[in-house]
Amino acid sequence: MPTMLPTANFQRLPPGQLNPATNLGADWRRYRLAMLCCVSLIGTSNAHANPKLPQLSFHTFGTGGTVYVPEGNADFIRDVTQLSGPSAGQWSVAVDSLIGGQINLKFGEKFELVSQAVSRHRYDDSYRPELMWALARYSPRPDLDLRGGRLGTDFYMRSDSRLVGYSNLTIRPSVDYYGGVPYYYFDGVDASFSYPVGSGILRSKIFAGFNDEKIPLELTPSWRSDNSLVLGGSLDYIIGSWQFRFGYFQIDNRRNLPGSFETLLNVLRTTPTPGALAAANALATADSTGRHFSAGLIYDEGPLQIQLLISGVKQDSAFLQESVSGYLLGGYRLGDFTPYAGLSWSSSTPARLNSTGSAGLDVLVKSAIARTGLDQHTFTLGLRWDFYPGMDLKAQWDVMQGSPDSRLLYRWESGDWNGRMQVLSLALDFAF
């Protein structure tokens, strides 16, 4: 079933390319088998000459970007999957630059195999290619899609196309909104069903699977989600130039954070006071659940596009602060040029725990919880130039205004970190 999401002219990809709503996956052995099948079919099938044969297509996308930070005593990162970035007075090409490839193999109108790999700045400061999608899609009827395998995380509106810069108006998706969501894929299944309601289309989706990604932590080993259970769903309503969405997903964390955090838990558990044991149980991330709620709307008509997205996160673990985030973005196309402006925000509420019975331990507990604090807003101004089909150039200026306690979306803050930063960015996007 074709994707039914409205897109502005500056976001349209060539028909059939990089469509996240038509993808499914499998485990690593199935991934390799699917790739071998695709390669063997390249020289033997001609879909245009004989429509009964599988249709094979290959697509590439990428971004070449550079970032300069004129102000800000911390490392700027695109999201919390990156370990480091530029700080005041530094340039970097690592924040936004990436390249990806995708293979689609269609068997008629009902069945399709899709595989996508991306090389980007990862949690370990490497650029090793990563398999993002490896899925199979079956559509027994035009209004029903069944997918299985490695799937992109369609948890928030537009979240499964975050890495395709050409499909986004801005250089990067809002850091305040998407930066704290480190999940790009999961291994599992989903099902979506579309049906007419009034003058529009209602589309429902449910999904379930397991996430196994890594989140970098300063001075400690990375935190691995370790096949954490993921469950959720969404409800979209598309009418004319409007799209509305309500979504929910939860992830059941399997492990405690490693390194100094785990050391703190062990100290609390061996301290002979009821308050210390209660603090250890409250801070533990193992066997805790994070619940994410989101709502959004997109208006896309002619040269004008407006996006408004809001989300909230509830956490079982006191270490992971509960938060609210959102952004408002607007763009207006003038020929090949699209100026845009946006405002985003994020704030969190730290958990209040009773005293451990030790002043020193109380300080350590408070410091650990502060690590996931959010309290900031960002003003964005930019210009996009679609100078060639499938290619664009973008220039963007971001001004972050926050409190010194806003630390989750940065790395390596210095002692005089005041929560403020400016970022200047240039990027070349392509998608073919």
Residue 426: per-residue pLDDT = 98
Residue type, 37: C
CB 32 within 8 A of CB 115: no
* Residues forming beta bridges with residue 10, ordered by sequence position: none
Summarize pLDDT for 376-416 with one digit per residue, the tens: 999 999 999 999 999 999 999 999 999 999 999 999 999 89
CATH architecture of 9-431: Beta Barrel (2.40)
pLDDT tier at 190 (50, 70, 90 boundaries)?
very high
Of 152, 135, 153, 106, whose CA–CA distance to 30 is shortest? 135
Q: Which helix (H) or strand (E) holds 42?
A: helix 28-42
C-beta atoms surrounding 76 within 10 Å: 27
Mean pLDDT on 108-119: 95
Q: Is pLDDT at 131 greater than 60 in this prediction? A: yes
Looking at the chain, the whole-number percentage of residues with pLDDT higher than 90 is 76
pLDDT tier at 51 (50, 70, 90 boundaries)?
low
Rounded-to-10 torsion of CA 106, 108, 111, 117: 10
- The residues spanned by each domain of the chain are 9-431
Is the model more confident about 25 or about 207?
207
Question: 195 by DSSP, 3-state: which?
Answer: strand
Residue 222: per-residue pLDDT = 87
Residue 89: per-residue pLDDT = 94
Residue 311: per-residue pLDDT = 97
Q: Is pLDDT at 8 greater than 70 in this prediction? A: no
pTM: 0.84
How many separate helices (H) and strands (E) can be counted in the chain? 5, 21
Share the mean pLDDT of the chain.
87
- 54 vs 138: CA distance, rounded Å: 14
